[in-house]
Amino acid sequence: MQIAIDGPASAGKSTIAKILANDLDYVYVDTGAMYRAVTLAALKAEIDPNDEQAVDDLLPQVEIDFKPGTPAQLVFLNGQEVTEAIRSDEVARNVSAVASYAAVRTAMTDLQRKIADNNGVVMDGRDIGTTVLPQAEVKIFLIASVKERAERRYKENQAKGIDTTTTLAELTEAIEHRDYLDSHREISPLKKADDAVELDTTGLSIDEVVERAKSIIAERA
Ligand code: CDP
Ligand code: CDP
C-alpha cells in the first residue's frame, strides 16, 4: 500500500508519517528533506539558489541517501550527514525557489517513485497525492492554522537548538511566505488531491491525529 501525506509547512506531516510507517512496518520517505538537501548543496557550492541554470548544472553531483537513525532518520548529502543542517533558516528561506525548478522536481520525483516501487511507503511532501503517487491508496491532506503551525515549529526549534534567535513573528512570516510560494508555483504546486481526505489538526495532539489517520487508512484500505 502507498500512503501519501501532503500539506503546508509544520502541519505535522513528518511526525505523523513516521509513526504510521513505524506501526505498519513501511518505509518512511521525507521528500521535503530531498529538496532541502539540494538547496543545501547549492549553498555549500556557493551557487545562488535563484539561479535555476546553476542549480540544474549542480544536480548530477547531488547524491541523497537516508539511513535509519534514532530518534530520526539520518539524511546524507554526498556521503556527509546533513540531518540537522538541512533544517536551518537559510535552507528554509531558499528551498521553495529550488523546489520550483523543473529539473529538480523531475530528479526528486524519479527518486521518490523508485523507492515506492520496491516498498510499502508512507511518503510526505507537497505533491505526493497529486503528482508523485497519484495511485496511492490513501491520501491525507494535513492542515492547521498558521498560528499553531508557527508555534509548533518555534517550540521544536527551541528544543533542538536550531535558529533559536528567530522570533515567533519572523517564523510565522517565513512559513506563510513559503506556503505562498509552494502553492503558487507552476509545477506540482501544494494542493489537496481531489481524492485526498483533509484533516485539520489545529488543537489536536499527535496521538489524536495518528488515531484519525489510522481510521482513514482503515476506511481506504
Ligand atoms: O517540514 P516542512 O513542512 O517545513 O518542509 P519540508 O516538508 O521539509 O519541505 C521543504 C520544502 O520543500 C517545501 O517548502 C517545498 O518548497 C519543498 N517540497 C516540495 O516542493 N515538494 C515536496 N514533495 C516536498 C517538499
Ligand atoms: O512535517 P511537517 O513540517 O508538516 O511538520 P512536523 O515537522 O511533523 O511537525 C512540526 C512540529 O509540530 C513537531 O515538533 C511536532 O511534534 C509538532 N506537532 C505535531 O506534529 N502534531 C500535533 N498535533 C501537534 C504538534
Rg of the chain, C-alpha, whole Å: 16
For the chain, the helix, strand and coil percentages under 3-state DSSP, each to the nearest 5: 55, 15, 30
Is pTM beyond 0.90 here?
yes
Cα angle at 20 between 79 and 130, to 5 degrees? 80
Structural domain containing residue 212: 2-220
Helix (H) or strand (E) holding 213: helix 206-220
CATH code for the domain of 129: 3.40.50.300
Closest atom, ligand 1, to C-alpha of 87: 8
pLDDT band at 162 (very low <50, low <70, confident <90, very high): confident
Total domains in the chain come to 1
Complex ipTM: 0.97
Cα–Cα dist 109/28, whole Å: 15
Residue nearest atom 6 of ligand 2, based on CA coordinates: 12
Residue 219 in grid coordinates:
476506511
Q: How many CA atoms lie within 13 A of 112 on its CB side?
A: 30
To the nearest whole number, what is the mean pLDDT of the chain? Answer: 96
According to DSSP, the residues that pair with 4 across neighbouring strands are 123, 139
Confirm or reject: Cβ of 6 under 6 Å from ligand 1: no
Nearest protein CA to atom 17 of ligand 2, as residue: 152
For the stretch 48-94, pLDDT in tens is 999 999 999 999 999 999 998 877 789 999 999 999 999 999 999 99
Reading the block at residue 28, the C-alpha cell is 518512511
Whether residue 125 is predicted with pLDDT greater than 90 in this model: the reply is yes
Q: Which three cell numbers stand for residue 162?
A: 536550531
The phi-psi region of residue 94 (left if phi > 0; otherwise alpha if psi is between -120 and 50; otherwise beta) is: alpha
For ligand 1, is residue 101 a contact (CB within 6 Å)?
no
Q: What percentage of the chain exceeds 70 in pLDDT?
A: 100
Q: What is the whole-number distance in angstroms between the Cα of residue 165 and the centre of ligand 1?
A: 22
| Residues forming a β-bridge with 197 | 140
Whether 32 lines ligand 1, by a CB cut-off of 6 Å, is yes
